[in-house]
Each structure stands twice: as C-alpha cells, then as structure tokens.
Amino acid sequence: MTSKVRHLSPISIFIFWGQLIYNWWIFILMGWGWLAGSVGQFKWLFLGLIILLLIIFAVIRYLRFTFSLGEQLITINSGIFLKQTRHIPYSNIQTVQEEQWIFLKPFGLENITIETAGKEEKHGEARLLTVSKSVAAEIEAYRKKSAQSQSDQLVSKVTSSATTVDSPTTYTINGSDLNRYALTSLSFLPIILGLLWLVNKIQELVPKSFLNSFNAQLVHLSLVIIIFIVFLIITIGFLISYLNVIQKYYRFTLTSAKQSLTTVRGFFQRKTVGIRLSKIQAIDFKQNVIRQLAHLSTVQSLIASNASDDENGHNLVIIPVIKETEALARSQRFVEWLPQQINENRFKFSPRAWFFIRNSVLIYLTIVAFPLVLAYFFWSVAFLYVLPFGIFLLFVGYFQGRYVAKNTGFQVVSKNLIVTQTGYLWTRRRSFIQRDKIQSIRLKQSIWMEPKKLTHIEFNLRKGNDNDAIQLRYLSVTDAETILKWYQPQVLSN
Amino acid sequence: MKEQPLPSKIKSVWRLTAFLTTAVEIIIILGLVAAHQLWRWPLWLIWLGIILSIIGTAIDFTLIPYRYAFSHYQITSTAVYLKSGYIFRKEESIPITRIQNVTLEAGPLLQHWNLQKVNVETASTTHTIAGGTPETAEQLQNQILHLAKEARDDL
C-alpha cells in the first residue's frame, strides 16, 4: 500500500526564510558594509536581491520537502541541491514533540519533532514544520500499531496494571499554584546578574564627559540613586522571571494513558511532549530554599531521551508545584512504582557535616583569595571594600556546606526502590530510583577517609544520552555497604 | 571467579609506556636545546623540561608496582567488580544485566603481550579493565550472552 506524499503548509516558507536569514546574516551584513563603503548606490539593490534570492531558496526548500506516513515508516524527502531521503521506522521513534506557536493556532498548524534512538547519530531528530494537528495523531496511531505487533516481553509483563488505568488520569495546574511556582522561582538571580552586566556595558558606551558630570552628581545623591537603581534592577529582573515562568507553564496539563505520560504547556508556544513510562529513569522532587520554607515541591522525571524542558536539560517537569505533603501521593497516580508515602525518619544521613562545611568554605576561600591578594598589593583602597565582602562569602560558604550536609542522605524503601537526597546550590533534590535503572555504582574513598569509615557513593543513571551521577558524599561505610548489598543482584539459582 | 589482579604482564606494558613517554620527553628537550642554539630561546626552559621529565619518569616507574598491587577485578555470574587506586580508591560494581556492550581494544603494546583493554559499557557509563587476557574477555562475553538467553534479573 502506497501512502500519500504530503507537503508542509505554505506557511513553512516564512520559517525557512527566517532560518536562511538567521544562518546568513553575517554575510549579508558584511556584503552590505562593503557595498556601502565603496559603491553606495548599489546597497539597496543588493539587499533587495539577497532577500529575493533567499525567498526563492525558501520556496524551493518548501517544494522539495515532502513526507509520507507509511504503514511501517515515515519517509522524509528534503534538500535543495543534495537530495536527502530519511526513513524512520515507527518502532525507532523515542518521542514525538509538538510545538504550537501562538501565531500558528488560528491555522490549526504545529511543528513536530520526531526523536529517534540512535546514540551515535548527530541528528537524532526530524522536524516537520507547520503541519496539521492531525499528523501527530496519525503518527501516534501508527506507532501504537507497530508496538502492538512487536509487543516485547517487557510490555506484556505490565499490561495487567495498564488495564486498570482505563480512564486517563489528568492533572491541570490551577492559577494560584502557577502563581506560587513563579513567585518562588530562583531564575530571577541569573536575570539580575545579566541586567547588572548590561548596566555596566551601557556605562562603558556612554561618553566619558557625560559620565564624569553624572558621577559628580552621583556623589551628592549617591545613596538614594544607587538604592533606586538596584531596586529597579531587582524589580525588573523579578518581573521578567515571573512572566517567563507564567508563560512557560501556562495551563500546564499532565495526562497519563496507556504506559505513557503527556505534558502540555505554554502560552506563546504550546508544547506537547509525550514520554513512555518505561523511559523514566528516576523521579525527582526538587525544592530550592524558598520552596522548602513554603513547603512546596516540584516533581520532575529524569528521562533517557532528549525530550525535555530546555532549561533543565533532560528533566521533564511532571508537576510544576505542589504541596510537599501531597507531592508523593499525587505523583503516584501517574507513576505507579512510586510509594504512596515514605517514612521521613528512616533517612540515613552523612555522619560528618564538618567535611561538607570545610570543602565549601575552601572553595569560597579560593574564589575570594585571589582578588584579596591582588587588591592588597596593588589597590589598597579597594582592599577595604573587598575584605568584608570576602568574609561575607566565607559565611555563605559555611552555610552552604551545612545546607548540603543536612540534605545528603538516602533510604532504601523496598527491594527495588531507593530514595537518595542531595543538596546543591541551595536546592534539595530527592530522587526515587528503581534498582534496575541504576547502571552502576561507584564507591570513592581517599586514604584519609578510611580510618574515619567514610566513603562517597555514586549512582550512575542514564539522562538523555549521557550519564547522571548522583553522588552522596561522606556516607558511613556501613551505610554504603547496605546500599551495595541492596544493589548487587542475587546469585541466580541455576 | 575470585577477585584477581590484572595479568602481571601488564606491568611490562606500563613500564614500556613509561619508557616511551620518557623517550618523547628527551626528544622535546633536545628540541629545546636546538631552539636555544638557533633562536636564543631562554635556557631555563631546558632546565624546566629536564626537571619535569625526571620527576615524571620517576613517578611513573615507582608507581607501577603500586598501581598493579591495587588494581583488582572480579567477574561473577551476576556482576563485574572493579577496584583501583590506593590513595584515591575507587570501587565499581556493574550488574551483568546492565551491560550493553563489551568492547576490546589493543594497541601495539598490548597486542605484543597478547592483552586487551576491556571496556564494559552500560547505557550511561564505561568501565575499563586496563588489561585482560583473551580468556577474561571471552568469559565476560559468554556470560552476557548466557544471561541474555536466560530470564533477565527479575525486576
């Protein structure tokens, strides 16, 4: 049976055109600059010609780009000069992501990214721009069909549980939760740093004379103005971060059906990501300090594929924000193997907080030491300012070390489940890991740790196409042995 | 299989590697001497090169017996265990069921002593047995095949 050969929507021409301009803008600018310098009158002609040429290219690309959905595989033809044909069997597809920019919505169109397994392959994905929303559903239907015909043992083993989840479970974020999520996000910190850098750059661009007179005024008004500017920057940074989080997780919905989870989110770009439950490597509950104080938690899944929130690497947010106490039970409705609850008192922690504090303070000391020494010898005025700042940073180091120490622990929940907890940069990460998803375990111990009966333990998990090492530092050797005993497979009877 | 050291021939491989490294360093030093003669490169560069290579060579050679003494591996019916290091110790355990590939590598030196570097690859990590006899490699591969045929570690 032959399948229909289809084109993308003509709107894709605009996107192709934009991509071409994006790829060539340096050369266009260079050509423009060169012409404007030598033969000025031709520059507009040049620009017009280039734009026309790129439009023609975009149209050709559109005409040459075809795809068809066959019974067994997707075929994609592309290429302006070099004709390329790609065949993607449905069984090789890892995830299908849909992105709908807000301007595509009236046309009922969306972009589809098809991701295949291939670890080696550099371009492990194929993109169909501006296709009808029905295409994704068609692909999904074919995929299910091919999965059924192959029906590997792994799937058949779990079908009994799948039948019980006939009606899809859904979770939709409500407004106040989203609001709280955005308010407690720490993503404003990098934005503020960026803004400060920008202000600094602007100062460099402003003419010296103006700046000098400005500086003279600044001395008079200094404190008020500086406080005002800092306040303004923090407000703007916070607002940007807040709105960004809101638009990103706008109407976030999680649906679970037949061995897969689907999340839909976003305002400007409505993004649909579907993952199979078997691809989930671990479930993380993350809390930054603010959320810890507010008893809120974020649930993410670590997945062995590239479909993810761009911000977080290979983590897919399952529930953006939820009350700490409800987090586990709510997630359990989507991910079966999670426990309904765990006993907080059964966590085993590192016995020696001092080492975490020492390391953290040492790291901050090396950061502080260099500018301090430099200031001491070459700029003694600044030294007086740098010194208190340095001491402040050492305190930060002390508290950070203490924070990490307090949050490093684990708990063996069952024969097949362990919960690890680590702290980093004022964020607590609690991971629920199934035994068969731990690729290997590594113990690390220096000769000085031996008499103190301490060891680091590292759990290697697959994340995207890479490794994610969850390291619990300075655990007691007996605890590490418990973990190893739990992890090591029992000798097979035969 | 009990925990066992690497084949003792690996020491010869390491010694020869260290020797070759030294030879390369001597060539570099000679190059520096020539550069000093021809283009008046500073003399201290030569001294630095000599001191560094003497220290490096000394460390390389003296560490060989230690490196050997503290590298162990064990292949059981269900897992591979690797141990290495004395000052900074590392112990790795890889269940056979997680192993995706076993790749064997042998450069000219290892080939000469009929040894192979055994890379044990999981879905996310690679673990290395610096020198394995062909029997080790074969044993490992057989075990993985065997386990693949049997019911997998019941999880």
Q: Give the pair of three-digit tokens for residue A252.
A: 């976030």
Query: ipTM greater than 0.95, yes or no?
Result: no
pLDDT of A469 reads 92
Identify the three-state secondary structure at position B67: helix
* Percent of residues, chain A, with pLDDT higher than 70: 86
- In which element (H, E) is residue A115 found? strand A109-116
Contact A162, A109 (CB under 8 A): no
Mean pLDDT of A275-287: 88
Q: Residue A108: which pLDDT band, with cuts at 50, 70 and 90?
A: confident
pLDDT at residue A312 greater than cutoff 50 = no
Residues of B at the A interface, defined by Cβ within 8 angstroms: 76-79, 86-98, 122-125, 127, 150, 153, 155
pLDDT of A40 reads 65
pLDDT of A161 reads 45
Considering only CB atoms, which chain B residues are within 8 Å of A446? 87-89
Over the stretch A401-449, which tens digit does the pLDDT of each residue have? 999 999 999 999 998 999 999 998 889 999 999 998 999 999 999 999 9
Q: Residue A467: which pLDDT band, with cuts at 50, 70 and 90?
A: confident
Average pLDDT, chain B: 86
Contact A109, A84 (CB under 8 A): no
pLDDT at residue A153 greater than cutoff 50 = no
Considering only CB atoms, which chain B residues are within 8 Å of A445? 88-89, 91
- First-to-final CA distance of chain B: 25
pLDDT at residue A308 greater than cutoff 90 = no
pLDDT of A432 reads 95
CATH number of B73-149: 2.30.29
Over the stretch A6-57, which tens digit does the pLDDT of each residue have? 889 888 998 888 988 888 888 888 877 777 776 667 777 888 888 888 899 9
pLDDT of A205 reads 67
Closest in A304, A436, A447 to B87, CB measured? A447
CB contact under 8 A, B125 and A467: yes
Average pLDDT, chain A: 82
The alpha carbon of A183 is separated from its chain's Cα centroid by a whole number of angstroms, namely: 19
Domains of chain B, residue spans:
4-69, 73-149
CB contact under 8 A, A463 and B93: no
d(CA A328, CA A168): 19
pLDDT of B91 reads 92
d(CA B72, CA B81): 8
Q: Residue B54: which pLDDT band, with cuts at 50, 70 and 90?
A: very high
pLDDT at residue B140 greater than cutoff 60 = yes
pLDDT of A222 reads 66
